[in-house]
Amino acid sequence: MAPVAMSAAAQSIAGAKPLSFWLDDPGRPEALPALTGDEHCDLLVIGAGYSGLWTALLAKEREPERDVVLIEGRETGWAASGRNGGFCAASLTHGLPNGLERWPDEIKKLEELGARNLDAIEEAVARYGIDCEFERTGEIDVATQPHQLEELREWHQELERRGFGGVEFLDGDALRAHVDSPTFLGGLWDRRGVAMLNPAKLAWGLKQACLDLGVRIYENTRGLELARTGTGMAVRTPAGRVLARRVALGTNIFPSLVKRVRPYTVPVYDYALMTEPLTADQLAAIGWKNRQGLGDSANQFHYFRLSADNRILWGGYDAIYPYGGRLSAALDQRPETFLKLAGQFFACFPQLAGVRFTHAWGGAIDTCSRFSAFFGTAHQGRVAYAAGYTGLGVGATRFGADVMLDLLAGEETERTALEMVRSKPMPFPPEPLAWAGIELTKRSLARADDNGGHRDLWLRTMDRLGLGFDS
């Protein structure tokens, strides 16, 4: 039998390394030694993703004398914080439409706090000299189907009516003058509300800033158990204990040390590819001049952006929920999704035929049923947690860190007064209901994409109940 020719998409991913492009960096810092013996501190932070790192950093900024320890089960930024798309959004609510739907009365405040939060990230990056390729380019939401274009146009009019500025409607020609794809029909450019950055370099830079302010960091040190002692908490680790007055949990989708928090999130695996660096001619062929991040507006959407060395990161589309919510390194690789993503990439940018992908990876997103973070305390206010960022945590985790510190201080602030902070999402039901509900939702969302955006009875019911599924 004659050998079957490999498709162009299969060829393009054939040599891709199975790991996050961002983490595959010679500048990746060595892990710090694990904790052995006992430690004492005012504040223990658990988890060295953005949540934990911002919490430790802001704690020191608020009160330089505070004794802060951070423990990380593996290495700083190895999980979602080192694998994401690097879209650092001002939105605290997984986008304005979601926030407007859920918290119409406080959305102005949430948007204002979000904008301040993004400005503060930009300032911190400059102040601590964090070389994370921060570029405040904004993001363009792209329509690739006529009904999406209509929706974007209507949404733009509504934004203007409600007084949300800074967003520009681009018709097909105007959009293709920014980035040229035959599939682009038009878009909305949020000029200031999103920055692009190198995710792993942000995590590593925050780690260094924490160390410079005197935070003691132990890596490969998993917190195994929380227990009350006197007026504080004791956290058991494999080779020691940390005795702390207060504990902040930045543990994202990993099993929370406060068990009752676990049903609020499910892991949803999201995947991305990174191309080789484009040549000047390739870049000219797609005319991507202003380096904005892009996302298309389907339910099953793609996000894509340029790296500092002019590669294209292309991610999204499939959102995979593993039965039982089990986390597994094996799920970080999904060849059928990579193949699908590569085919969709060349459909979007046929000018780039022949470009190869150098990296292919995935990671777990902490999805909750309202798509935006929730917060709370346990053990009589000695422990605070924040989780549920659902695919938009690069920026919002800094806000969540501030909320955790407010809660631990027992302070009423403009943040803790928010309904968004005081309320919780609906928890996910146990299996097999969670799996069945999520699969049904995913199928309905895919059907809606193929059917002019029409939402079926199931989706309309979920919408009415304020429940959903996203990545």
Ligand X SMILES: Cc1cc2nc3c(=O)[nH]c(=O)nc-3n(C[C@H](O)[C@H](O)[C@H](O)COP(=O)(O)OP(=O)(O)OC[C@H]3O[C@@H](n4cnc5c(N)ncnc54)[C@H](O)[C@@H]3O)c2cc1C
The footprint of ligand X (CB under 6 A) covers: 46-52, 71-74, 78-81, 83-87, 89, 222-223, 250-252, 254, 257, 270, 272, 363-365, 389, 391-395, 397
User: Least Å distance between CB 252 and ligand X?
Assistant: 3
184 backbone dihedrals φ, ψ, rounded to 5°: -85, 125
User: Least Å distance between CB 398 and ligand X?
Assistant: 10
User: Least Å distance between CB 343 and ligand X?
Assistant: 19
User: Least Å distance between CB 394 and ligand X?
Assistant: 3
DSSP-derived 3-state class of residue 192: coil
Residue 191, token pair as written in the block: 């000029």
Q: How many CB atoms lie within 10 A of CB 364?
A: 26
Range 283-289 contact pairs with CB under 8 angstroms and sequence separation of 24 or more: 283/310, 285/180, 285/351, 285/352, 286/179, 286/180, 286/181, 286/349, 286/351, 286/352, 287/176, 287/177, 287/178, 287/179, 287/180, 288/178, 288/179, 288/180, 289/178, 289/179
363 backbone dihedrals φ, ψ, rounded to 5°: -165, 160
Instruction: Closer to ligand X by CB, 73 or 437: give it.
Output: 73
Which residue is it, tokens 């995710």? 199
For residue 341, what are the contacts with CB-CB under 8 A and spacing of at least 6?
Answer: 271, 272, 273, 302, 314, 315, 316, 317, 318
Instruction: Closer to ligand X by CB, 258 or 355: give it.
Output: 258
User: Least Å distance between CB 98 and ligand X?
Assistant: 13
Quickly list DSSP for 422-438: H--PPPPPPTTHHHHHH
Q: Alpha-carbon distance 301 to 295, whole Å?
A: 7
Give the CA-trace dihedral at 186, 395, 422, 230, to 10 degrees: 160
Instruction: Closer to ligand X by CB, 149 or 383: give it.
Output: 383
Q: Alpha-carbon distance 385 to 236, whole Å?
A: 18
Closest residue by beta carbon to ligand X: 393
Separation in Å, CA 291 to CA 148, 391, 419? 23, 21, 36
Instruction: Closer to ligand X by CB, 72 or 406: give it.
Output: 72
User: Least Å distance between CB 460 and ligand X?
Assistant: 28
User: Least Å distance between CB 447 and ligand X?
Assistant: 24
Q: Alpha-carbon distance 463 to 455, whole Å?
A: 10
Instruction: Closer to ligand X by CB, 272 or 355: give it.
Output: 272
Pairing of strands 302-306, 312-316: antiparallel
Q: Alpha-carbon distance 105 to 100, whole Å?
A: 8
Instruction: Closer to ligand X by CB, 170 or 392: give it.
Output: 392
User: Least Å distance between CB 161 and ligand X?
Assistant: 27
User: Least Å distance between CB 24 and ligand X?
Assistant: 15
Instruction: Closer to ligand X by CB, 232 or 391: give it.
Output: 391
DSSP-derived 3-state class of residue 196: strand
Nearest alpha carbon to residue 212 among 318, 109, 60, 325 = 60
User: Least Å distance between CB 21 and ligand X?
Assistant: 11
Residue 277, token pair as written in the block: 């660096």
Q: Alpha-carbon distance 460 to 298, whole Å?
A: 17
Residue type, 24: D
Instruction: Closer to ligand X by CB, 149 or 315: give it.
Output: 315
User: Least Å distance between CB 428 and ligand X?
Assistant: 18
Instruction: Closer to ligand X by CB, 46 or 418: give it.
Output: 46
Instruction: Closer to ligand X by CB, 285 or 331: give it.
Output: 331
Quickly list DSSP for 318-371: --BPPGGG---GGGG--HHHHHHHHHHHHHH-GGGTT--EEEEEEEEEEE-TTS
Instruction: Closer to ligand X by CB, 299 or 444: give it.
Output: 299
Q: Are 276 and 355 in contact (CB under 8 A)?
A: yes
User: Least Å distance between CB 74 and ligand X?
Assistant: 5
Instruction: Closer to ligand X by CB, 216 or 222: give it.
Output: 222
